[in-house]
Amino acid sequence: MALGSLLARMTRTDRWLVLLLMLAAFASLWFVLGRSVGRSLLVYAGDTLAFTAPLDQDRQIELHGPLGDTLIEVVAGKVRVISSPCSRKICIGMGAIQRSGDLLACVPNRVVIRIEGEGGEYDLLSR
């Protein structure tokens, strides 16, 4: 009844306008509710940002430092160091990072890897 009365009062232009607005509203809601900000990988050489990429694309990154090349691997949203010229290989032993705010570093070769983005369980990790 109410809908019929409403439709009866609408002109053709009104109907098009309402349809357009409804589509835009649904699209906006999908954008807000259905999608979170993607996480990014940031790689620093010393204090300089050397490389950044979305975390949802698998890749390998080779970064040159004072000791040689550090090889970083991104697979299934996880980042790890797979090869390093440093002596104790602590960076390889740290394993993979995947949460926003996680850090991985090879201090001797001055390579720093950070994951940035929203939705992490924590802002900072005490370890």
Partner 1 sequence: MLKRPLALIAALLLILLLSWSLRPRAASDVSRTALIMGTLVEIKGVGLDDKDMEGAISDAFDAMRREEARFSTRIETSQISAINRAITAIEVDPEVLAVLQLGQRISRQSEGAFHPGLGRLLKLWNFEAVSPRVPALSEVNALLPALIGEPVAISGSAVKRLNPDLQLDLGGIAKGYAVDRALAVLRAAGIESASVNAGGDIGLLGGHAERPWKIGIQHPRKTGQLLATLELRDRAVVTSGDYERFFLQDGMRYHHVFDPRTGFPARACQSVSVVTATVAEADALATAAFVLGPIKGLALLERLPDVEGLIVSATGEVEVTSGLKDQIRWR
Residues binding partner 1 (CB under 8 A)? 6, 9-11, 14, 17-18, 21-22, 24-25, 28-29, 31-32, 35-37, 44, 46-47, 87-88, 90, 95-98, 103, 105, 107, 110, 112, 114, 116-118, 121-127
Q: How far is the CB of 51 from partner 1 (least distance, A)?
A: 14
Does residue 111 contact residue 47 with C-beta atoms inside 8 Å? Answer: no
Q: Nearest approach, Cβ of 62 to partner 1 (angstroms)?
A: 20
Least distance between partner 1 and beta carbon 123 (Å): 5
Q: What six digits make up the tokens of 40?
A: 């990014």
Opening angle at CA 86, ends 85 and 89, nearest 5: 105
d(CA 61, CA 49): 14
